[in-house]
Chain A
Amino acid sequence: MKLSDFFRKKSSGSVAKDRLKLVLVSDRTNCSPDIMEQIKNDIIAVISKYLEIDTDELDIKITQTEVDGTTEAVPALFANIPIKNLKVH
């Protein structure tokens, strides 16, 4: 661990708060891992029609994001989908 990491280390209290916020988003939306898996597969199926994507590195999750101009957090579907190859049609 670098010295700078030591100073930047988050306190365990704020780690707890961040983890809770995330887990509660999925608890509250009642989004089970099964449904997440289905959403993920459907998204892969749609995008694969147009692009070649890296399904191993793909990351889809429900998280919170702040609305512009407010401090209010709203749930958002976050998807990080690496593209392997742009298919030419």
Chain B
Amino acid sequence: MGEVIVVTSGKGGVGKTTTTANVGTGLAKLNKKVVLIDTDIGLRNLDVVMGLENRIVYNLVDVVEGNCRIKQALIKDKRYPNLYLLPSAQTKDKSSVTPEQMKKLADDLRDEFDYILMDCPAGIEQGFRNAIAGADSALVVTTPEVSAVRDADRIIGLLEANEMRRTHLIVNRLRADMVKRGDMMSSDDVVEILAVDLIGVVPDDENVVISTNQGEPLVGNDTLAGQAYMNICRRILGESVPLLDLNGKKGLFERLAEIFRKN
């Protein structure tokens, strides 16, 4: 029986789609059968982040309206044997689909897939209600900024009100250098404020932009963000993985100091 996970945030632009793409691809790399569903009807984006935009024939609304079978709308990612995308519709709006229909769709996919990831639109309106309808657990993405954390708090409240069983937090775009000099909230600060379990911290890494440009998720490669996303995937599978040291690049002086400290 597959697990349905919704990736949500409240605020736009904090990295929901990037997170969905990378966590989904990472789980597929770890030999899980995964389908990513873009629930942002009217603002389709997951397809371009995944680099699958040229292969869309049918979409989410087609499936829900019965214009095609689910199998026909699923795009198989040829780079990974276990990864599929159900793209959103670009020309419809959020009211084309109801929460009941989304719940049924998610349940129909459970037999076939280990993980069903819902990429939720920004906001708390119908698009949000559609995306969380069939979900067993939620990944709440936030950045260490007051606006994003405030919206995440609202989302966590709404998830609780909707009886979401498990909610995990991802702190995205953290800058270790700014945290160090006190000019950015740390992931601990954000966790303290939101009082929810942390499942990962992703550094602000320019490689994320590069990978999005190329339409190829960076999860699992040797960049800091790639490692951070892979760690999140392992934690989803139940492994206990320590948090990444985000002070990756060290200066010569720091490295020398470390050597002396060790001896």
A11 touches B181 (CB 8 A): yes
User: Quick check: is A80 within 8 A (CB to CB) of the other chain?
Assistant: no
User: Quick check: is A28 within 8 A (CB to CB) of the other chain?
Assistant: yes
B193 touches A24 (CB 8 A): yes
B153 touches A11 (CB 8 A): no
- What total of A-B pairs shows CB separation below 8 Å? 40
* Size category, A interface: 10 to 19
A27 touches B183 (CB 8 A): no
User: Quick check: is A12 within 8 A (CB to CB) of the other chain?
Assistant: yes
Task: Label chain B's interface by main secondary structure.
Answer: helix
Interface residues of A (CB under 8 A from B): 11-14, 16-17, 19-21, 23-24, 27-28
Contacts of A12 in B (CB 8 A): 182-184
Contacts of B206 in A (CB 8 A): none
Query: Which residues of B in the span 148-186 have a Cβ within 8 Å of any Cβ on A?
Result: 149-150, 153-154, 157, 178-179, 181-186
B182 touches A11 (CB 8 A): yes
Determine how close the nearest CB of chain A comes to the CB of B68; give it in whole angstroms.
43
Q: Which 4 interchain pairs have the tightest Cβ spacing?
A: A11-B182, A13-B182, A12-B183, A17-B189
A11 touches B183 (CB 8 A): yes
B184 touches A19 (CB 8 A): no
Q: For B192, give the chain A residue with the smallest CB separation.
A: A17
Q: How far is the CA of A5 from the CA of B189 in the complex (A)?
A: 25
User: Quick check: is B245 within 8 A (CB to CB) of the other chain?
Assistant: no
A27 touches B154 (CB 8 A): yes
8 Å CB contact of B153 from A13, A14, A17, A24: A24
Contacts of B179 in A (CB 8 A): 13
